Amino acid sequence: MSKPKILVARAVFPDVLERLAVHFEVDANQADEIWDKPTFIQKLVGKVGVFTTGGERIDAEVLKACPALRICANMAVGYNNFDLDAMTAAGVLGTNAPDVLTETTADFGFALLMATARRVTESEHFLRAGKWSKWSYDLFAGAEVHGSTLGIIGMGRIGQGIARRGAHGFGMNVIYHNRSRLAPEAEAECKARFVSKEELLRTADHVVLVVPYTAASHHTIGAAELAMMKPSACLINIARGGIVDDKALAAALRNQTIAAAGLDVFEGEPTVTPELLTVPNVVLTPHIASATIPTRRAMAMLAADNLIAFLSGQKPLTPLNPSVIG
């Protein structure tokens, strides 16, 4: 009996491919080529499942061209590459990879906050350029982290992880804004207080964005929101590109509307808004918040487990549109 055919759209750990190959005929992209949409569709035709990494768009056009497709398993917690409505209408399941990356991503979010507040990369560039000739009392003097006010927009698992690090590790005053308020016990664990978005922007010393990308969250932070923030404030985005208006942010950094920013995600990534590359007071990283070997392997294995479970007639672990399961 022939095995079901699946596509693995990007390079992945060899042991993950070996696990998938036990169950499926695997068409793997270990050369890690970046396919345009027509090529992606050509590769996907005739496959019942696809292992995606967050950059491969699954929309009505792809679904129409690939009627055999039954499941798209994302090796990411975010799934803005999925048109979930179109997938549901076509009876195609989407899955993601939450939980396994929570603590690793929270670690990175806090690291990015500290690097931004203390001007780590800005001072390294200065040093590497041979510009350090003497000590100075205000040389790259940055913002305090301990005891300051941490504002988190998006208080899901990762947001709560950052809140715990700030409150318990650095004695920070934690405030947050979310679509819905946390349960009292969760607020107590994070030592966090619910406030309006406007109050958060006006009072936080460090604003961290951890919201999922949707049409409603597009440009959650734009020129108007940046103008509400303290001139001494730092903005950190580990959510998704498009949550922040990157051009407005570059202007705010250049004009010192806010002090600094740390960005792990960008509008139109891997392309970066050119203006962001010309301002010194921003820390830029290439979407690596979950990038440790154990965590990335766990994410990949979870995507593989979703494919194996669903295509074997079992319940997938992390379905996004469970109504298609029946």
| Location of structure tokens 């301002």 | 279
SS3 241: coil
- In angstroms, the CA 245 to CA 52 distance is 26
Tokens of 166: 């700030």
Which entry of 10, 119, 240, 296 is annotated as an active-site residue? 240
Single out the catalytic residue among 218, 269, 275, 297.
269
**E strand or H helix at 223:** helix 223-228
CB 41, CB 21: distance < 8 Å: no
Q: Are 75 and 51 in contact (CB under 8 A)?
A: yes
144 among known catalytic residues: no
58 close to 88: Cβ distance less than 8 angstroms: no
125: annotated active-site residue: no
Question: Which one is catalytic: 10, 164, 165, 287?
Answer: 287
Residue with tokens 């903005």: 235
The reply to whether 56 belongs to the active site is no
Q: Are 149 and 171 in contact (CB under 8 A)?
A: no
Neighbours of 281 (CB within 10 A): 17
Show which residues are catalytic: 240, 269, 287
